[in-house]
Amino acid sequence: MIHRAKYERLLKNSKGQYRYQFNWVSGGFNDIWAKNLKEFKVELKRQFGNSNLDVNYNTLHKATESGARSWDKAGDMLCW
């Protein structure tokens, strides 16, 4: 019997943007909505250009629904 890996669709909003999740090199995490990697970098500079934060690109990925849910839950536990 062949078992197929469960495929989960990537999270995408009504503007056609994916939710990119990533960690900072110095610690912590964040996310940005963008259509592609080029737009991600532009949006990253717009939102965080004046900070000294650096993205750990080894952790950058497009979110799935369940991945985003667990990501948000972890963030909520840290904030409250």
Quick check: 55 and 22 in contact, CB under 8 A?
yes
- Within 11-75, strands assigned E span 18-24, 29-34, 55-62
Given this model, what pLDDT does residue 79 score?
Answer: 65
Quick check: 19 and 63 in contact, CB under 8 A?
yes
Q: What are the two backbone dihedrals, phi and then psi, of residue 3, each rounded to the nearest 5 degrees?
A: -100, 125
Quick check: 23 and 29 in contact, CB under 8 A?
yes
Given this model, what pLDDT does residue 77 score?
Answer: 74
Q: Find all residues with CB under 8 Å of 54, minimum gap 6, and list them.
A: 24, 25, 26
| Per-domain boundaries in the chain | 32-79
pLDDT at 6 over 90: no
Q: pLDDT per residue over 16-68, tens digit each?
A: 999 999 999 999 899 999 999 999 999 999 999 989 999 999 999 999 998 88
